[in-house]
A and B are shown apart, each in its own frame.
Chain A
Amino acid sequence: DTEVTQTPKHLVMGMTNKKSLKCEQHMGHRAMYWYKQKAKKPPELMFVYSYEKLSINESVPSRFSPECPNSSLLNLHLHALQPEDSALYLCASSQGSGTSSYEQYFGPGTRLTVT
């Protein structure tokens, strides 16, 4: 089963709200990723967790806060976002080591709108 699930599918939030995006996989993968994708653009890497530890942060603003409670779950906490943060947020996972660790499987994404 190569499935990554994300909730919610759609989210509308105001600039003063606090919300969270959730991602789950049951493939035994030990690396998980957050990407941001604007319309008609490729995905841009935000964070990488490897064995539940943050290994890459692509200089993402602190209003985005990732969390990896266990090897199957990945959250993205959102606070005081700006309208330009509106985008499709994609979660992905991969094996933790070896060449297969580059083979990422994506969830369907959360469409975020900041008003």
Chain B
Amino acid sequence: AQSVTQPDIHITVSEGASLELRCNYSYGATPYLFWYVQSPGQGLQLLLKYFSGDTLVQGIKGFEAEFKRSQSSFNLRKPSVHWSDAAEYFCAVGEGDTGRRALTFGSGTRLQVQP
């Protein structure tokens, strides 16, 4: 079965600083990878996705992520963080070769932004 690990439970960055959130997945075949963001008490918003092709993907709100198959990673980055980026971030993987349309989520990383 697939799994997703987000090693950082909580990260604090200063506004304007760069950000990298880590995500490692365990899946033998074709992973479909996603990053979602969740503000307190809200639903999840899709930031970006990777299915195949170019390993650097651009998303909304200035986020990007890079797929590295050799490291089983899909880290999320942003060059300059805004206070409104404070939220919970979830990495997720879908089973790309089984057709089972169920995402497995990591445990999440809570981002705090200092002024």
Contacts and interface: CB of A to CB of B under 8 A. Distances in A.
B101 A102 contact: yes
A94 B101 contact: yes
Contacts of A55: 101
B44 A43 contact: yes
Contact of A31 (B42, B96, B101, B107): B101
A50 B100 CA distance: 11
Interface residues of A, number: 28
Interface stretch (A61-69, A79-87, A107-115): A107-115
A111 B107 CA distance: 20
Contact of A99 (B36, B51, B108): B51
Contact of A42 (B100, B101, B106): B106
Interface string A18-43: 00000000000001000000001111
Interface in B13-43: 32, 34, 36, 41-43
Contacts of B90: 42-43
B108 A42 contact: yes
Nearest 5 pairs of A and B residues by beta carbon: A42-B105, A106-B43, A102-B94, A106-B44, A108-B43
Given A102-B94, A104-B46, 20 more contacts: A6-B43, A42-B90, A42-B107, A43-B44, A43-B105, A45-B102, A45-B103, A48-B102, A56-B101, A58-B102, A90-B44, A94-B101, A99-B32, A102-B34, A104-B103, A106-B36, A106-B45, A106-B46, A107-B43, A109-B42
